[in-house]
Structure 1
């Protein structure tokens, strides 16, 4: 998942869909500095192709990314040349350094299944957060806010390339199963179809709050957020 051609399609789609990564990064930086005015460093976990990371480099003296998919990490490194990007799993990574802020955006946290994996990830986040530092996590939908059978459809154009994306989402055993179909077309290669399936866990709100508390954070859920799914903003107390 998210390697090879699908990493390129992901980049093509979300770069041209109109998502304002610069504004989102600025808003997150503001949230961090409201709680930690002297914040100077940030780690973006599950940074994908670096869409947020490239902008975080303009808000923090040191910004780094962590990404599990090697091909996406390579794109992120090219896109944000001033940031170090490490290939790693959010459930078990050790960079040997701490940051004023740790972020996990665009519902990437939902790729984890169950409370144990949430706990493991938040524990890793805490080990990489400076005392007094801030964690920002953008969740997936909660069980009660997910829309069964949801269909999304978009068309983006980049130069002579056109990409159509249609997805259909259903819930199965507490997991969102998303079937995604792409039609990619250009004047030379014509049109071709690709498909993939994603599984995103519908963690309850209290599951995130429990994981944050167990890791030592003081967490608060904020409504809204970049995608309407809210944000968990947590502080790691200076005295531990």
Structure 2
């Protein structure tokens, strides 16, 4: 289980809300994508839902939504945003909710998998939670050739009297050409708590399109990569091989 220092999910949530992602527009795009393929879709599972930034808007498009995340702390934050929504602690590589959904979505989580073996396991578990006409949507990230070694990213967020600064620096990991290590430093200044800061590293995998295609095929799904504004890198959309209509 992922464990974060006290207060980190709140800081994460604050940064993600100000990063430029249009969560209402992304939720609406997902709903259109799903209903184009399955017009009667009523239930949705958001895997790696984090603090519920998409669930908050997805629940206005689907009759029943459920969230899963590896971190109980993230889910505690999500519970305050989407009260009444079923939330489960779970690892996408081992997921077993004993339930099936008309739509399963997994947004910006796949890069945290370590290799194609883990990608295969995760996709298989996501596929296991689809109804016979279900739709799976997975958000990819950029491929290895698009990575800029030494890339520096920065965020500065001010909300009322609170200021958060986040800096990250990314390099190839141990000479690999599909794995990167991102070092992240965050400073959080609050009138009551003062200044808190921490530094940590996250290792990420840059999967290629052929890795996704192979994983979906091995899970018995028909898949395609589609442009899906406002998702910058598009979405992989997959359906059970016997489902009517194209992926």
Whether these two folds match at TM > 0.5 is yes
Work out the number of aligned pairs and report it.
Answer: 239
3-state SS, counterpart of residue 228 of structure 1: strand
Q: CA deviation at 1:2?
A: 5.8
Change (3 A) 1:177 1:221: same
- Residue 216, structure 1, aligned to residue 220, structure 2: yes
**Alpha-carbon spacing, 1:156–1:169, altered in 2? closer, same or farther (3 Å):** same
1:202 counterpart = 2:206: yes
Describe the shift of the 1:56–1:82 C-alpha distance in structure 2 as closer, same or farther (beyond 3 A): farther
Given candidates 63, 71, 74, the residue that maps to 1:72 is: 74
**1:119 maps to 2:156:** no
Matches within 5 A, 1:81-160: 81-105=83-107, 107-160=108-161
Please state how far the C-alpha of 1:89 moved relative to its aligned partner. Answer: 0.3
Q: Aligned residue for 1:229?
A: 233
State the Cα distance separating 1:224 from its structure 2 match.
5.9
In the other structure, the counterpart of 1:60 is 62
- Structure 2 unmatched ranges of 5 or more: none
The RMSD of aligned alpha carbons is 1.7
The verdict on how the C-alpha distance between 1:2 and 1:146 changes in structure 2, with shifts beyond 3 A counting, is: farther
**1: CA distance, partners of 2:79 / 2:196:** 29
Cα drift, residue 229 of structure 1: 2.1
Distance 2:62 2:228 in 1: 24
SS at 2:66 equivalent: strand
